[in-house]
């Protein structure tokens, strides 16, 4: 019975490892790009358990199989460990360099613990706050922070895709676009850092592939790659952030970085898993920040829970084009 159990679980791990190789973009195939850490842990345990199997042949086959499965999963997640070289350098700490502190928070629309987010904002004082899944109720409740954020973009929706932007810096050329799907908006604008510097910003929240959302990942993938191709044509300072409903190590996000040329400050620093806040074993990085080579990193932190299924993400970038 022990051997059968190990063999069965190994077979399942083989299926979920190879499922993303399918040419289909159906969520059943693509969802297995998310839990690579969890799959690696399970296959590592299976390697250890296989050593207790009496049959030498079966023991060897299972050991090799699970070693290969573990290695493959680790290959994807390795860049998001501290063993990898940092892609974005730490800021030099030189005084007077312009900086921008950005907090993104998917609040979970039915969540009513708005004071937890307000307390975080008041404590950390981000220059830019991006809220996702915010409806008209959330817009009203967040009115207390307006005094600190004179520049705002409000786009409340009751379909889990409302979006609000709060900024201490002036905004120009503001566009709220539905790039791929109706009622799935994104915000695009220039943020005026000072009289000599403006930054192109894209705030995104595409729909995920899931049984309750889109059957396939195609709309999400298209939105990310449309933005990547727009960025690739320009040399201006750029920031992309939001809940992309895709993990940092997926082929789509990797293609987004390669096409756009943007950098990921998490590479070499950690995963900063922001979802799911309620289940520690089922967490992965869904909330992202990418930026052009014009910036170094002062800090990036996962914030405490605001009673959402996502943790907020706080990043501080230093404008340092040299």
Question: What is the model's pLDDT at position 196?
Answer: 87
Range 306-319 average pLDDT: 97
pTM metric for this prediction:
0.94
Q: Tell whether 108 and 75 lie within a shared domain.
A: no
Q: Of the candidates 33, 53, 80, which is a domain's last residue?
A: 80
Residue 223 has pLDDT above 90, yes or no: yes
Residue 3 has pLDDT above 90, yes or no: no
Is 46 part of any domain?
Answer: yes
8 Å CB contact between 294 and 237: yes
Is 88 part of any domain?
Answer: no
Residue 150 has pLDDT above 80, yes or no: yes
Question: What is the model's pLDDT at position 23?
Answer: 86
Average pLDDT, the chain: 95
Residue 25 to residue 1: CA distance in whole angstroms = 36
Q: Tell whether 185 and 257 lie within a shared domain.
A: yes
Is 104 part of any domain?
Answer: yes
Is 50 part of any domain?
Answer: yes
pLDDT bucket at 272, cuts 50 / 70 / 90: very high
Question: What is the model's pLDDT at position 220?
Answer: 95
Is 15 part of any domain?
Answer: yes
Q: Tell whether 53 and 135 lie within a shared domain.
A: no
Residue 253 has pLDDT above 90, yes or no: yes
Residue 274 to residue 313: CA distance in whole angstroms = 7
Residue 94 has pLDDT above 90, yes or no: no
Q: Tell whether 227 and 278 lie within a shared domain.
A: yes
8 Å CB contact between 307 and 118: no
Over residues 37-93, the pLDDT tens digits come to 999 999 999 999 998 888 899 999 999 999 999 999 999 999 999 999 999 999 987
Percentage of residues in the chain having pLDDT higher than 70: 100
Q: For 21, which DSSP code?
A: G
8 Å CB contact between 39 and 73: yes
Q: Tell whether 128 and 226 lie within a shared domain.
A: yes
Residue 319 to residue 296: CA distance in whole angstroms = 7
Q: Tell whether 110 and 188 lie within a shared domain.
A: yes
Range 143-157 average pLDDT: 97
Residue 236 to residue 76: CA distance in whole angstroms = 30
Please give the residue range of the domain that contains residue 145: 99-319
Question: What is the model's pLDDT at position 93?
Answer: 72
Q: Tell whether 306 and 193 lie within a shared domain.
A: yes
Q: Tell whether 140 and 278 lie within a shared domain.
A: yes
Range 179-207 average pLDDT: 96
Split into its structural domains, the chain has a count of 2
pLDDT bucket at 119, cuts 50 / 70 / 90: very high
Is 223 part of any domain?
Answer: yes
| Residue from 304, 312, 265, 262 nearest 286 by CA | 312
Question: What is the model's pLDDT at position 226?
Answer: 96
8 Å CB contact between 247 and 286: yes
Q: Of the candidates 16, 45, 80, which is a domain's last residue?
A: 80
Half-sphere exposure of 122 (CA within 13 A, CB side): 12
Residue 266 has pLDDT above 90, yes or no: yes
Is 90 part of any domain?
Answer: no
Radius of gyration of the chain (CA): 21
Q: Of the candidates 80, 114, 145, which is a domain's last residue?
A: 80
Is 92 part of any domain?
Answer: no
CATH code of the domain in which 181 resides: 3.60.10.10
What are the residues whose beta carbons fall under 8 Å from the beta carbon of 57, sequence distance 6 or more?
Answer: none
Q: Tell whether 53 and 128 lie within a shared domain.
A: no
Q: How far is CA 126 from its chain centroid?
A: 19
Q: Tell whether 104 and 72 lie within a shared domain.
A: no
Q: Tell whether 229 and 276 lie within a shared domain.
A: yes
Q: Tell whether 54 and 195 lie within a shared domain.
A: no
Segment (H or E) for 54: none
| Residue from 320, 95, 105 nearest 199 by CA | 320
């Amino acid at each position: 019975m022990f051997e059968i159990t190990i063999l069965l679980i190994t077979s399942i791990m083989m299926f979920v490892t190879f499922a993303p190789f399918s040419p289909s973009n159906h969520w059943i195939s693509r969802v297995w790009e998310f839990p690579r850490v969890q799959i690696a842990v399970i296959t590592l345990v299976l390697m250890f358990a296989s050593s207790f199997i009496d049959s030498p042949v079966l023991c060897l086959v299972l050991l090799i199989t699970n070693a290969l499965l573990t290695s493959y999963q680790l290959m994807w997640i390795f860049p998001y460990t501290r063993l990898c070289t940092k892609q974005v350098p730490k800021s030099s700490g030189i005084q007077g360099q312009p900086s921008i502190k950005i907090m993104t928070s998917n609040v979970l629309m039915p969540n009513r613990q708005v004071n937890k987010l307000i307390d975080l904002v008041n404590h950390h004082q981000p220059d830019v706050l991006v809220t996702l899944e915010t409806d008209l109720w959330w817009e009203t409740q967040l009115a207390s922070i307006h005094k600190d954020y004179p520049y705002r973009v409000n786009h409340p929706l009751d379909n889990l895709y409302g979006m609000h932007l709060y900024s201490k810096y002036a905004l120009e050329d503001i566009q709220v676009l539905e790039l791929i799907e109706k009622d799935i908006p994104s915000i695009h604008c220039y943020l005026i850092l000072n009289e000599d510097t403006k930054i192109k910003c894209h705030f995104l929240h595409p729909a995920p592939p899931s049984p309750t959302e889109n059957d396939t990942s195609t709309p999400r993938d298209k939105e990310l790659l449309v933005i990547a191709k727009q960025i690739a044509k320009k040399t201006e300072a750029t920031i992309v952030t939001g809940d992309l409903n895709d993990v940092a190590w997926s082929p789509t996000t990797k293609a987004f970085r390669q096409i756009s040329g943007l950098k990921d400050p998490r590479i070499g620093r950690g995963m900063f898993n922001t979802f799911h806040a309620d289940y520690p074993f089922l967490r992965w990085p869904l909330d992202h920040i990418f930026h052009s080579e014009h910036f170094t990193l002062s800090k990036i932190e996962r914030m405490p829970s605001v009673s959402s299924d996502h943790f907020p993400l706080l990043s501080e970038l230093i404008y340092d084009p040299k």
